[in-house]
Amino acid sequence: MPQELSLDRDAVATVVKKVVVAESRLSLPPDRVRDDEPLVGDLLNVNSLGFVGMLVRIEDELDVTLPDDLFVGRSFRTVRDLIDVVTAAEVQR
Amino acid sequence: MTNAVPTRWRSVLPHLSEPLPPDRTPPRSGAGSGEIKINIPTELIRHSVSSREYWDIPAPVVERYRQYRPTPLWRARGFEEAVGARVPVYVKNEGVNISGSHKLNTALAQAYYYQKAGVKELVTGTGAGQWGTAMAAACALFGLRCRVFMVESSLRRKPYRGVLMRMLGAEVHASPSGMTKVSATENPAAGNSLSLAIGEAVEYAAEHDQVAFCIGSGETYSILHQSVIGLEAQEQLAELDAGIGTVVGCVGAGSNFGGIALPFHATARAAGEPGPRLVAAESSSTPKLTRGVYAYDKTDATGSGPMEAMYTIGSDYRIPDAHTAGLRFHGAAKLISAMRHSGDVDAMAVSQADALDAGRLLARHESVLPAPESGHALAAAARIAASPEATGGVLVCVSGHGYLDLGAYEHFLAGGLEDQSPPDEALARAVAGLIRVETRP
């Protein structure tokens, strides 16, 4: 039976930054990425399909299943936007 | 014959010879917002990128599949004799549902996931009208509104496609519609195309709340949903104790071909054995797999999405008008393209006249009227089966019926069909600006 739980924001932030750094093909430590860093900007370069592909890696890293509507009708500008959405989601493990 | 309906889809992604090339961000146009807008259920994302092989089909989707699946598969002895086949030809007929084609297999799945994710309306583009009809039917079943942009020349030839979609509750627009910016900037006099109809749907969805764009062919998740065709065929052929040397499907972007062929590839790879030859039959007027280049190109006329690695004749190439609207797409799906590039998929170009003649033969000798698109697969299957080198049986997918395409057959019977294969120089110009996919060492 799947168990519903909420996620710790710091844990989510660590994973999200690790994944956006990998997606942008950078080699810097994830903690160097600021929360307000644009997803498409001077440092990070995440395209929309790369972005949705990150979902699976975030799920794997956190060992959770994110809800069906997480990416419906949303727009994301910064790393914080993504951290906030994942943290607020009712996930299952 | 088995009555079993598959309860799982099978993904080929774990069995690819090389991973799919990542998409490229399109060149930024002027003042981009820097925003990433996403409008897709998470499960469809997983279907596209996860390396999981088997996926449970949701119970409400299986229940709908049971209304028309398993679809018929039989040895087409009359067709074999008519084309001089040296090996058996098996036909799998996906035209036996209200949409008249395989498209319902993924339309039901997509409507289910979008409705579950809170979307209220789905909007799409359609060429031949089979996808639009499938989406209209699926939306009606899962309580969603539906809006369809259909290629104008195709809608004019097949007005009853529009009637059927409206009966199912959809709002239908001829494309170019004039109601979107992309249709205003395209030059309608230069010819209609599926990429423009899709572009109109993309733009409409982006500008309306609780509305999502959905697509029926080239997406990796669509091809996964179509795996029910091949999975069923494997069971049915096993019951007939039939060996298969070649699997054939027609390719617009590639979903019915992927659906029937890729489960055979996955099975062979999993067993460490050579599988059947997989042959993609395309229109000679849209020869992306036989004469195109492997490059990054747009998937629709807006160019707002990522550029995908595909075999393409160039998204800006003006495809000549034809009766096979479902094949008039400039590129093949990135999954099918990657398998073509790795040598796991062969391709064959077929003219309209040959396709409709193969359709005529199937109607006369097997009492099944195929869509002109499916006629391309049948013509390719006939060539392969009649070849002195033929080994093993040929399995061919009839992707849809042709009852709304009788105008095309009338044209064919009157001897009025002319094919327009693109000249080499026109193709070279159309792909000149595209970035080629790097070939791995």
Q: Tell me the pLDDT tens digit for each residue of B93-137.
A: 999 999 999 999 999 999 999 999 999 999 999 988 899 999 999
- Global pTM reads 0.92
pLDDT at B223 over 70: yes
pLDDT at B206 over 50: yes
What does each C-alpha distance from B341 to A13, A30, B20, B438 come to in angstroms?
Answer: 38, 35, 11, 11
- The confidence score (pLDDT) of residue B67 equals 97
Minimum distance, in Å, between the CA of residue B258 and any CA atom of chain A: 21
- The confidence score (pLDDT) of residue A56 equals 81
Q: Tell me the pLDDT tens digit for each residue of B350-383.
A: 999 999 999 999 999 999 999 999 999 999 999 9
- Contact residues on chain A for B210, CB-CB shorter than 8 A: 73
- The confidence score (pLDDT) of residue B2 equals 67
Pairing of strands B211-213, B121-126: parallel
pLDDT at B256 over 60: yes
Burial class, A69, CB count within 10 angstroms (exposed 0-12 / middle 13-18 / buried 19+):
middle
Whether residues A75 and B119 touch (CB distance < 8 A) is answered with no
What DSSP state is assigned to residue B4? P
pLDDT at B88 over 90: yes
| CA–CA distance, B15 with A7 (Å, rounded to integer) | 34
Provide the b/e sequence for B160-169 (b: ≥16 CB within 10 Å).
ebbebbeebe
Q: Tell me the pLDDT tens digit for each residue of B306-356.
A: 789 999 999 888 777 666 666 778 899 999 999 999 999 999 999 999 999
C-beta neighbour count of B210 within 10 angstroms: 13
Whether residues A72 and B119 touch (CB distance < 8 A) is answered with yes
Minimum distance, in Å, between the CA of residue B197 and any CA atom of chain A: 21
Torsion angle, alpha carbons of B88, B91, B92, B97, to 10: -160
Pairing of strands B73-75, B346-350: unpaired
Whether the complex's predicted ipTM is more than 0.95 is answered with no
Which segments within B46-134 are labelled E, that is strand? 54-56, 73-75, 89-93, 121-126
Amino acid at B352: Q
Contact by Cβ (8 Å): A77, B34: yes
- The confidence score (pLDDT) of residue B323 equals 66
- Contact residues on chain B for A55, CB-CB shorter than 8 A: 42, 45-46, 49
| CA–CA distance, B325 with B142 (Å, rounded to integer) | 27
Contact by Cβ (8 Å): B197, B126: yes
Reported confidence tier of residue A30, pLDDT bands at 50, 70, 90? very high
Lowest mean pLDDT among B41-45, B110-114, B186-190, B200-204: B186-190
Contact by Cβ (8 Å): B52, A60: no
| CA–CA distance, B203 with B205 (Å, rounded to integer) | 5
SS3 at position B392: coil
Looking at the complex, does the CB of residue A45 fall below 8 Å from at least one CB of chain B?
Answer: yes
Contact by Cβ (8 Å): B289, B280: yes
SS3 at position A19: helix
DSSP one-letter string for B154-184 = HHHH-HHHHHHHHHTT-EEEEES-SSSHHHH
| CA–CA distance, B402 with B375 (Å, rounded to integer) | 9
- The confidence score (pLDDT) of residue B417 equals 83
- Contact residues on chain B for A49, CB-CB shorter than 8 A: 22-23, 305-306
Whether residues A40 and B32 touch (CB distance < 8 A) is answered with yes
- The confidence score (pLDDT) of residue B29 equals 43
Minimum distance, in Å, between the CA of residue B211 and any CA atom of chain A: 8
Looking at the complex, does the CB of residue A51 fall below 8 Å from at least one CB of chain B?
Answer: yes
C-beta neighbour count of B428 within 10 angstroms: 12
Minimum distance, in Å, between the CA of residue A26 and any CA atom of chain B: 16
Q: What are the tokens at B215? A: 């697509």
Whether residues B38 and A45 touch (CB distance < 8 A) is answered with no
Burial class, B143, CB count within 10 angstroms (exposed 0-12 / middle 13-18 / buried 19+):
exposed
**How big is the A-B interface in CB pairs under 8 Å?**
95
More confident residue, B38 or B50: B50
Whether residues A49 and B306 touch (CB distance < 8 A) is answered with yes
Mean pLDDT of B425-437: 93
Contact by Cβ (8 Å): B253, B315: no
Which segments within B28-69 are labelled E, that is strand? 36-38, 54-56
